[in-house]
Every structure is written in C-alpha cells, then in structure tokens.
Amino acid sequence: MSEIVANAKSRIKCREIMSKNVSTINREATLQDVAKILRDGDIGILPIVENGSNKLVGLITDRDIVVRAVADGKNITETNVGEIMTTELFTAKPDDFAFEAVRIMGDKQVRRIPIVDDENILQGIVSMADVALEMEDEKEIAETLEEISSGAAFWSKK
C-alpha cells in the first residue's frame, strides 16, 4: 500500500465506517426477546439503551446469554437483560479516527465498539468487518483480524 493511501486510511473517521442502523433493546426485555432479535438479525451483539432514549447503558451478546444465563440455569423467559448485560463499555466517538477504535478492540479484546456522542447516545457500531472493508490488502486484513482475535499486541507490529 502506498504511503499516500496508508495516510488517507489512517484519517478515516468512525462515522465513515460504522454501521448506523443498529438494533437495540432495553434492560427490561427478557433474554428470549434478545435471542430472537439476534437470530432474526443474524447478529451476535445487541446494545442496551435506556427506555425513551438511545442512551447506551450496556451490551449483550449471544455468548453472554449462554455463559451468564443458560449455563447457570436461568429461565430465559423470565430473566431480564439488565441482570446479565455487560456494563463495562469501551466506546468511541463518531469523529474519532477509526484506527483508535481498532486500537481499543486490540487492547480490550473486543470485536465491536459502540460509537456514542457526548451524551452517550448510541450513533452506531464499528466492527472488525467494518474495518476490514476499508483495508485494500487482503494480507493486511487477515493479519489485523487475527491479531485482534488472538490478543497479540496490535501496535507492536513492525
């Protein structure tokens, strides 16, 4: 990749690559409600927002349902999202550079970063796939995704 192209790619903002039409749910919903949305949308994560606003309060994944609920014998038709959702959130802003979202993914070993405004209102999500679509070199894509998934230090790459 030429230095000019690499420099341009390093200036891509999160708003330019994020998925904007993101399904959400509130913390009062049941795990069964979440599972249906995940299945029907063919997605693996669902942002949890406050009722009446799009303020991000948590995330829930298909893995969360299995590990934190099903494995513990919780009833998915009675257990609310708020009981098992992840509340430690790693986010970025729409005008942050996409490479910052990638750095967070690598550092925190997550595959998606919610994009929020200054009031923590959900604007979209940047996923590893969104980042991969912006990279031209297939080898670079594969190496980047492998490093994020494996826990290798992304920024120590030479």
Please report the domains of the chain, with CATH numbers, ordered by start residue.
9-149 (3.10.580.10)
Summarised one tens digit per residue, pLDDT across range 60-108 is 999 999 999 999 999 999 999 999 999 999 999 999 999 889 889 989 9
Residue type, 49: V
Summarised one tens digit per residue, pLDDT across range 121-149 is 999 999 988 887 776 554 555 565 566 56
Q: Look at the pTM and tell me if it is higher than 0.75.
A: yes
